[in-house]
Amino acid sequence: MKIFVDYDLCEANAICMEQAPEVFKVDDEDNLHVLLENPGDELREKVEAAVRLCPRQALKIEG
């Protein structure tokens, strides 16, 4: 799977980081960083939750 972020929509609410801290990180300046652009299937549930719970719908996954 591959993660895509629409940074124009992202408000760095850190909900994705709460769901999948292995994959997402919001820094002290409120910038979102994707730590694993292609996470393994063992993280699929966490990543799908992050995508689903994103209040701005700024995250998408393919694959």
Give the domain CATH number at 20: 3.30.70.20
d(Cα 36, Cα 29) in Å, to the nearest integer?
20
pLDDT value, residue 50? 98
pLDDT value, residue 57? 98
Residues above pLDDT 70, as percent of the chain: 100
pLDDT value, residue 59? 98
Provide the domain limits for residue 29: 2-62
For the residues of 1-63, what is the DSSP string, one character each? -EEEE-TTT----SHHHHH-TTTEEE-TTS-EEES-SS--GGGHHHHHHHHHH-TT--EEEE-
Considering its fold, how many domains does the chain have in total?
1
Burial group, residue 41, by CB count within 10 angstroms (0-12, 13-18, 19+): exposed
Q: What is the per-residue pLDDT across 8-58, written as a single tens digit (0 to 9) for each?
A: 999 999 999 999 999 999 999 999 999 999 999 999 999 999 999 999 999
